[in-house]
Structure 1
Amino acid sequence: MRHLPTALCSLCLLVSLLPGTALAEPLDFKVDPTHTTVYFAASHFERTSVRGRFGKIDGRIRYDETSGSGAIDFTVDADSVDSGNRTLDGILRSPQFLDAQNFPVVRLQASRFVREGDRLVAVEGELTLHGVTQPLRLEAERFSCGAISLFGIKRHVCGGDFRAVLSRSTFGMTRFLPEVGDTVVLTMSVEATPSLPALE
């Protein structure tokens, strides 16, 4: 029996050397701005949709690919809103909507990754917009991690498509209601690669 601890230690060492048995640790990812987009849409007189995007996005993700846990911290430059219409962009930047001068940053922070089996189905956190913070749930339409090769360069990438629905009036943006709808649909595509220090 005195040899049992030694045998157990040897067994533990052997298992730790087997492929796929190493304990995974969370990785810190930097958002790739060239492959990350945020779009929005709201109804216009219940006939068509007003659509646009934000051109300047930054963010960090901490993600454990084994457990599926993580945290995100995304920021969007409110002044970078682009609807394809310069007049509308001016209205969206004005105090009537985003008020980009007083609230230059839109921020999404989340630390709850919702999974069903091995699949990520949603990310839950808080959105700060127009100086107001409200809970937000991003539904994951697809998400995965793995190696990709682009122009002969191999990288490890995590990415996916997400969708959220919010009420703009809860963020204090009530101008042009109800002609321009209160419900805003956000769609986000994200790609990120390991690089940054741990999120605090």
Structure 2
Amino acid sequence: MRYPTAVLYALCLLAPALPGAAWAEPVNYAVDPTHTAVYFSASHFERTTVRGRFGKIDGRISFDEASGSGAIDFTVDADSVDSGNRTLDGILRSPQFLDAQNFPVVRLRANRFVRDGDRLVAVEGELTLHGVTQPLRLEAERFSCGGISLFGIKRHVCGGDFRAVLSRSAFGMTRFLPDVGDSVVLTISVEATPAVPALE
């Protein structure tokens, strides 16, 4: 049976939205900044924990749901650090720690998605922080892709929580060791939606 060209064209447009349909090739996702944040924590005199977050994040994810492969490129505004304490934020932005004036961007790039069957268990790449680039492995605490409906609007979303422990001294930040711990727990909570191509 032969189908009209218009019908075939319509099926091609609808295919990505059909339940269970797999993407034919990697899809480019844009990070949703309203549902994405980078959190950190470190010990303080081994008595308490200093916590904070970075609020300004941009990034792109290329992900093939069928094969589970992909790539990540995130940038974080170092000046957006927020511990809830203005005095501490000033110290964190200063040359004693992030030196945000000289190193305004923190960058995460990864191109290896580690899987256990159908489950994503980790993402491996490199982190550039304080002008130093080091390998980084982010353990996936949860990750999934699928359709959601928000305020009656349906869209496809990939999202998850990822965790890593890094040594701040490996990035040249040695001030106040060991009173402020060397081990920093990094948690990234991210949601991303298919990027809309720019109009030409």
Which range, TM-score by smaller chain?
0.7 to 0.9
Q: Which amino acid aligns with 2:109?
A: Q
The reply on whether 1:74 has 2:74 as its aligned counterpart is yes
After TM superposition, the structure 1 stretch with the greater mean CA deviation from structure 2, 135-144 or 20-29, is: 20-29
Query: Quick one: distance in 2 between partners of 1:196 and 1:180?
Result: 43
Query: Quick one: distance in 2 between partners of 1:146 and 1:129?
Result: 32
- 2:88 maps to which residue? 88
Q: Is the 8 A contact 2:26 2:64 kept in 1?
A: yes
Query: Quick one: distance in 2 between partners of 1:21 and 1:126?
Result: 32
Query: Quick one: distance in 1 between partners of 2:23 and 2:82?
Result: 44
| CA-atom RMSD in angstroms | 1.6
- 1:24: how far off? 1.9
In the superposition, the TM-score normalised over structure 2's length comes to: 0.87
After TM superposition, the structure 1 stretch with the greater mean CA deviation from structure 2, 187-196 or 27-36, is: 187-196
- 2:58 maps to which residue? 58
Q: Which amino acid aligns with 2:37?
A: T
Q: Which amino acid aligns with 1:113?
A: F
The one-character-per-residue Cα deviations of 1:49-91 (angstroms, maximum 9, x if unpaired) are 0110001000000000000000000000000000011010000
- 1:23: how far off? 6.7
User: Helix, strand or coil for the counterpart of 2:74?
Assistant: strand
Q: Percent identity?
A: 87
The one-character-per-residue Cα deviations of 1:136-181 (angstroms, maximum 9, x if unpaired) are 0000001000000111111100000110000000000000100000
- 1:196: how far off? 5.4
Q: Which residues of 2 match residues 1-200 of structure 1 at below 5 A?
A: 24-195=24-195
Query: Quick one: distance in 1 between partners of 2:85 and 2:49?
Result: 13
Q: How many residues align?
A: 180
Q: Is the 8 A contact 1:144 1:160 kept in 2?
A: yes
Query: Quick one: distance in 2 between partners of 1:22 and 1:118?
Result: 14
User: Helix, strand or coil for the counterpart of 1:180?
Assistant: coil
Query: Quick one: distance in 1 between partners of 2:22 and 2:50?
Result: 49
Query: Quick one: distance in 2 between partners of 1:184 and 1:165?
Result: 6
After TM superposition, the structure 1 stretch with the greater mean CA deviation from structure 2, 22-31 or 182-191, is: 22-31
Q: Is the 8 A contact 1:71 1:112 kept in 2?
A: yes
Q: Is the 8 A contact 2:39 2:54 kept in 1?
A: yes
- 1:192: how far off? 0.1
Query: Quick one: distance in 1 between partners of 2:123 and 2:194?
Result: 19
Gaps of 5+ in 1: 1-16
Q: Is the 8 A contact 2:82 2:89 kept in 1?
A: yes
Gaps of 5+ in 2: 1-14
Query: Quick one: distance in 1 between partners of 2:107 and 2:70?
Result: 17
Change (3 A) 1:23 1:46: closer
* Runs of at least 4 residues off by over 4 Å: 19-23
- 1:20: how far off? 6.0
Q: Is the 8 A contact 1:60 1:196 kept in 2?
A: no
Q: Which amino acid aligns with 1:115?
A: R
